Amino acid sequence: MSGLTIVTSSAQMSDIVARWKSQGESVAFVPTMGSLHEGHGALIQRATELADRVVVSIFVNPLQFGKGEDFDSYPRDREADEAFVRNSAVDVLFMPSVDEVYPSGQETTVSAGPVGERFEGASRPGHFDGVLTVVKRLFAIVSPDFALFGRKDAQQLFLVESMVRSEGSPITIVPIDTVRAPDGLALSSRNTNLSADERARARVIPEALNEAEATPTLSAALAAVRQRLHATPGVVIDYVAGVDPDTYRELDEGSLASEATLILAVRVGNTRLIDNRRLHFPQ
């Protein structure tokens, strides 16, 4: 489509953005770990509407994977990703090496604090410290006006928004709704790891969340989702919980809150999938 520039050097990336900004142009940034799909496509589309220039990064960040996690097997397909980005109005595809992102090898890491230790953080210790560390580093290199994140990774989005707020950063975080397959499964790079049988079983996740929407209270919503997931062979619950959307604190099961975000993580075979739904209960 447009003249895409591929950049691997952090210094060159920063220089390009400085040049755009000196011409009065705004910059939107879509950080990714590659294996791009239509979920990323929605982020990129919104980025092109928001700003004069769009940067997409692809960097599989070792800091956010724990020992024994899928860093080595995380899906990587450089050719397909490049083709995907070329099809949209992206100005720069930033694909740095580990040394370009962490030049000294011992950068100060960001602590995600107590919220970073719950849910995804409890199952994946250190994960959110790694996410915030790389996001902060990428923000320093790209200096965007806008940065776009998907609502599927609700806890990540909450923590990035909190970091930006607490730092008084001028970057506007733009949340984008989850993109789903026709059967409702949230698009995720990890879906490619599912066998056909596992993919069919994973359909229970959006079905359970749809059922939760029709319940009158949080406890009924949690019960409905757990029951649907438990009843599906090959699907193992990691957690199903309700959180306060403003604080990400877990809500008591008997909470009569009028709003909650129902969050869940399950294993389908060896693949871990997450999803969430904002629920409104009649008062």
- 101 vs 240 by CB, closer to ligand PAF: 101
Amino acid at site 59: F
From 40, 127, 230, 280, active-site residue:
40
Any idea what DSSP says for residue 66? -
- 145 vs 225 by CB, closer to ligand PAF: 145
Amino acid at site 224: A
Give the CB-side neighbour count of residue 79, counting CA atoms within 13 A. 0
What are the tokens at 18? 């400085």
Nearest to 28 by CA among 98, 109, 88, 71: 88
The SS3 call for residue 29 is strand
- 17 vs 33 by CB, closer to ligand PAF: 33
| Helices assigned H by DSSP within the chain | 10-22, 38-50, 78-86, 98-101, 120-123, 127-142, 154-167, 196-202, 204-213, 218-230
User: Shortest distance, CB of residue 130 to ligand PAF, whole angstroms?
Assistant: 8
Q: Residue 80 and residue 75: Cα distance in Å, rounded?
A: 11
User: Shortest distance, CB of residue 14 to ligand PAF, whole angstroms?
Assistant: 18
User: Shortest distance, CB of residue 254 to ligand PAF, whole angstroms?
Assistant: 33
Quick one: CA torsion of 9, 130, 193, 38, rounded to 10 degrees? -60
User: Shortest distance, CB of residue 61 to ligand PAF, whole angstroms?
Assistant: 4
Residues that bind ligand PAF (CB under 6 A): 31-33, 61, 64, 131, 134-135, 153, 156
- 48 vs 57 by CB, closer to ligand PAF: 57
User: Shortest distance, CB of residue 207 to ligand PAF, whole angstroms?
Assistant: 25
List phi, psi (to 5°) of 70.
Answer: -95, 35
- 24 vs 67 by CB, closer to ligand PAF: 67
- 117 vs 259 by CB, closer to ligand PAF: 117
**Which is it for the CA torsion 192, 195, 200, 206, positive or negative?**
negative
User: Shortest distance, CB of residue 13 to ligand PAF, whole angstroms?
Assistant: 15
Residue 230 among the catalytic residues: no
Do residues 234 and 269 lie in contact, with contact meaning Cβ atoms separated by under 8 Å? Answer: yes
Do residues 35 and 70 lie in contact, with contact meaning Cβ atoms separated by under 8 Å? Answer: no
Residues involved in catalysis: 40
